[in-house]
Amino acid sequence: MNKIIFSGVIIGTITGLLLLLMFAYIQIQSGIPLMDLLLNVDFIYSGPLNILVEIGLHLIVSIIIAVLLKAVFVYKRSWYIFVTVVIFLITVALYFILQAIGHSVIIFDNRIGLTLWTIFHLGYFQLIYYMYKIGY
C-alpha cells in the first residue's frame, strides 16, 4: 500500500502541475481563465488566498485522484476504465459547477473553454495511465 501512495503522490504532483502549467499557458495566450477556474476556491473561502495555497489544494485533489486510480490499477484492473471514465465525467461537470458556484471566474465563450478543459483533462488522465504502465 505504501508503494501505491508514494506512486500516487509522485504521479499526482507531476500530472497536476503539468495540467496547471498548460492552463496557465492557455490563459496567458488566449485570455480564457482556465487556470483561474482550476484553482478557484472562492465558494469555500471568500477571502483572498495565496496562489501557493490554491496550487496546493489543486495538487491535493490531483494526488487523491492518482492514488485512487493507482489502487484500482493494482487491485482491480478490470475496473480501471470505468473508474477513470466516472472521474473524468466529474471533472468535465466541474467546468460548469465551478463557474456556477464560484464568484470570481466567468468564461464568456463556453464552447472553447469547455473544449480545452475536456481535452486537457483527457490528456491528464492519459498521462496518469501511461505513467502507471511504465511502472511509476
| Higher-confidence position of 136 and 74 | 74
User: How many Cβ atoms sit within 10 Å of the Cβ of residue 29?
Assistant: 8
pLDDT at residue 80 above 90?
yes
Question: Residue 58: which of 118, 119, 5, 124 has the closest Cα?
Answer: 124
Q: Which residue has the higher pLDDT, 41 or 113?
A: 113
- Output the CA–CA distances (angstroms, integers) from residue 74 to 1, 36, 51, 127, 134, in the order listed: 10, 34, 34, 17, 13
Higher pLDDT pick, 94 / 102: 94
CA distance 97 to 37: 10
3-state DSSP assignment of residue 50: coil
* pTM of structure: 0.90
* pLDDT of 86: 97
Question: Tell me: the pLDDT tens digits for 37-64?
Answer: 999 887 777 777 889 999 999 999 999 9
